[in-house]
Structure formats: structure tokens, C-alpha cells
Structure 1
Amino acid sequence: MKIGFFVPCYIDAIHPQAAISTYGLLKKLGLDVEFIERGSCCGLPELDMGYIKHSCSLEKGIVSLISDKGYDYVVVPSGICTDQFRDHFTEVEQTPEVAHFRATVHDPVEFLHDILKITELPGHPQFPYRVALHNGCHSLRYLNEARPTELMIKPFDKCADLLKLVDGLEVGYATRRDE
């Protein structure tokens, strides 16, 4: 399995350690991970402001970075950008390369939980503390990584499932956990 690892602009600028840690975890899991050297914007800021055509030009640049690389999956350490690529990448021609990218792009939680179905973490990490977990709107309502409270369905939380693989870690939530 060949994985492309794509770091969007705001993660690179604001939270680079999140990308570095995710990349390191994928490598520790023994995966063939290729860091896509040239990052780009997913187009979400432009789309949100109504600049659909400009967001399209940004989207087109991403396809050239990943086409012909033979990636089985592309992991993007951002749920918002993953949603943008998968569900809003509609203004560009839907070539086979675009269709493949949209079908195989995942954020780390989805990839680890749904694709790899990991049951243990390398090195059996320990963190004997209680942590607060907040699932973002995109991860709840677009990526379906946890149950939004407005839906009357059986509760689930993929991120919490993964955090439970860390020995000693206890997950806690705010009272109004998805607001």
C-alpha cells in the first residue's frame, strides 16, 4: 500500500507538529509513505467567500501533485481539508485522477480507524492523564467520525476509539460536546 501524505497550507503554517507527528506515526506503522513536498491550499477559504472559480484553480494544482504517483490513499492531517477535497472538489473536470483522489483521500482518524483498522499503537505509548476531546464540525457532520448530538443514533467516536489505544489515557468531553 502506497500512501501520499499531503500537508495543506494552514497546517503547515500554524500546526506543523501535527503533520510531523502524523507522518511519523504512519511510518512507525510500517507504511510506504511519501511526503508530497509541495503543499497547497484546499480552496476552502476562497469557496467560503464565494470565489468558486478561484478555489477551482487551487484545486487543479493539487491534482498535478498526486496524479501518476500510484498512491492507494492520500492522508491529509486536516478534517476540513479532507472534506473540501472529497465533497467540494466539484468545480474541476472529474477526470479519473480527480475521481481516484476524491475516493481515496482521508484524514488520519478515518485512515487509522476505517482503513487500517488498527488495534494497537507502535511502542505501546502511555499517557496516564485525562484529556478533553472536541470533535470538530467537519469531522462530525461530513466525515462521520463521531455521532453529532442532534442525531438520535447509537453513539460512536472513532477518535476516542483510537485514543483508548494509549495506555492510561482517559477521554473526557464538555457537557455540550459538539458545540
Structure 2
Amino acid sequence: MKVGLFIPCYIDVLYPQVGIATYTLLKRLKVDIVYPMGQTCCGQPMANSGYEYLACGTNKNFIQQFKEFDKIVAPSGSCVLHIKEHLKGESDLEKNQALHIQNNIYELTEFLTDVVKVENLKASFPHKVGFHQSCHGQRGLHLSGMSELTAPYFSKPEQLLQQVEGIEWVKLDKKDECCGFGGTFCVTEETVSSKMGKDRLADHEKNGAEYITACDMSCLMHLEGIANREKSHVKVIHIAEILNTQNAEQ
């Protein structure tokens, strides 16, 4: 199984350590992972802003970069969901290639639980951690159950975090409330977005979290900005960084 590593542009530019942790973790798990050097933005910002027709170039490039892989994995639920729902090809060949990609692209924790079937990570992170349920991953990719549904609860990210030695779970008052980032929503509705983010941060602070982790660095970026401005002690860390600790001292 040849696997392509898709690293979203904002991670590449602002949080490269998350991309490195993802690659290192997958290599440790013996995954034949390849990083296509020609990859760029997936086109989600244009689509979110109502200009999906401007994403033709990014669609074509994404197809060219990832069409030959058996599986594609990315440390971002929102970007994976965008590809699953919006990737388009122009010719019949490209349409078939796009469909193959859409059927075989995975968010990182989904890939680890459903494809690799990880059961023993040998990681260590002795800290109090609150898990933020990112909306795209939870409600779009169904990485975890939703509190508004009368159905048994499950969580693929938490299934992996439970394998991490020393981690102490922080129980939140509202475990799956939106942080307010929402891509371009945080620009067009910045006041509402900021208030939502402050509420999520306050929930973690109130319940004693040292770290907030999530499957989407975009949500964590939003919360980190608020935490810095509020001079909060709470830090953010992507789930890939925790899963890749390999018993290292934090």
C-alpha cells in the first residue's frame, strides 16, 4: 500500500512541526508514506468564500499529485472533507482520478484506526489534556459521536489517545461545541467567532487543562490566538504531536 501524505498549506507555512510529526509517526508504524513535493492548497478557502469556480487549478494540481496513490492521509479533517466533497476533474480521466482520490483519502486518526488499526502506540504525554471536537471531523467525517444524537458514543481520536501513557483526560462541560473558527467565518463574523473561541478556551481553563488537542490545526490556531491575547496558561498541540511522542520527555 503506497500512501501519499497531504499536508495542508497553513500547516506547511505556520505549523510545520505537525507535518513532521505526522510523517514521523506514519514511518514509525511502517507505512510506506510519500510526500509529493508539488502539492499546494486544496482550494478550500476559495470554496468557503463562494468562489469554488476559482479552484480549478488547485483541483487539477491535487489530482496530478495524488492520483497514483492507494491511500492519501492528512492531519486535517476540514481539508480532507473538502477534497471528499468538492474535488472535481474536467476530463473523463480526471473525473475518474478525482473519484479514486475521494474514496481513498483519510484524516490521520481515521487512517490509523480504520486502515492501520493501531492498538499499541507506545507514546507518553503526562499532562492534563482537553480534546476539542472539530466540526468538520466530527459532523462531516464522523470521527466521533455527536451529543445531539441519541446514539452510542464513539471517538476515533480518543481511541488513539487512550493508548498514550500518562495522559490525564479533562472532562469538558460542552465536549463538542464549535470553537468559532470556521475558515472564512472568523474573518466575516470576527466578533461572533472570537466569543465562541473564548467560550471554548474558558471551558478548558475551568476544568484544569494544560493542553488543548484536536485533529484540526486550524481550530487550534484560532484557540491559540485567543489564549495568547488572554494571557492564558493553556497551550495547544495537534494530536499527531502527542501520538508521536514515543515516550519522549515533554
Would the TM-score normalized by the shorter structure come out above 0.5? yes
TM-score normalised per structure 1: 0.91
Amino acid at match of 1:162: L
Q: What's 1:120 paired with?
A: 120
Which whole-Å CA distance do the structure 2 matches of 1:8 and 1:126 have between them?
Answer: 26
Q: What RMSD over aligned residues (CA atoms) do the two structures have, in Å?
A: 1.5
Which whole-Å CA distance do the structure 1 matches of 2:159 and 2:33 have between them?
Answer: 23
Number of paired residues? 175
CA contact (8 A) 2:129 2:167 kept: yes
Amino acid at match of 2:113: H
Which whole-Å CA distance do the structure 1 matches of 2:119 and 2:145 have between them?
Answer: 21
Q: What's 1:15 paired with?
A: 15
Q: What's 1:165 paired with?
A: 163
Q: What's 2:131 paired with?
A: 133
CA contact (8 A) 1:130 1:169 kept: yes
Amino acid at match of 1:24: T
**Deviation above 4 Å: which 4+ runs of structure 1?**
90-94
1:21–1:4 Cα change, 3 Å: same
Give the drift of 1:173. 3.8
Match of 1:178 among 163, 176, 179: 176
CA contact (8 A) 1:163 1:171 kept: no
Query: Percent identity at matched positions?
Result: 34
CA contact (8 A) 2:109 2:156 kept: yes
> Which secondary structure state, in structure 2, belongs to the residue aligned with residue 18 of structure 1?
helix
Amino acid at match of 1:164: Q
Give the drift of 1:27. 0.2
Which whole-Å CA distance do the structure 2 matches of 1:79 and 1:92 have between them?
Answer: 25
Which whole-Å CA distance do the structure 2 matches of 1:108 and 1:6 have between them?
Answer: 10
1:143–1:92 Cα change, 3 Å: farther
Q: What's 1:58 paired with?
A: 58
Which whole-Å CA distance do the structure 2 matches of 1:74 and 1:96 have between them?
Answer: 16
Amino acid at match of 2:141: L
Amino acid at match of 1:72: D
Compare the two structures and name the one with the higher helix fraction: 2
Give the drift of 1:39. 2.7
Higher-Rg structure is 2
CA contact (8 A) 2:77 2:141 kept: yes
Q: What's 1:151 paired with?
A: 149
Unmatched segments (≥5 aa) in structure 2? 178-250
Give the drift of 1:130. 2.0
1:108 equivalenced with 2:127 (yes/no): no
Which whole-Å CA distance do the structure 2 matches of 1:92 and 1:17 have between them?
Answer: 35
1:158–1:52 Cα change, 3 Å: same
Give the drift of 1:170. 2.3
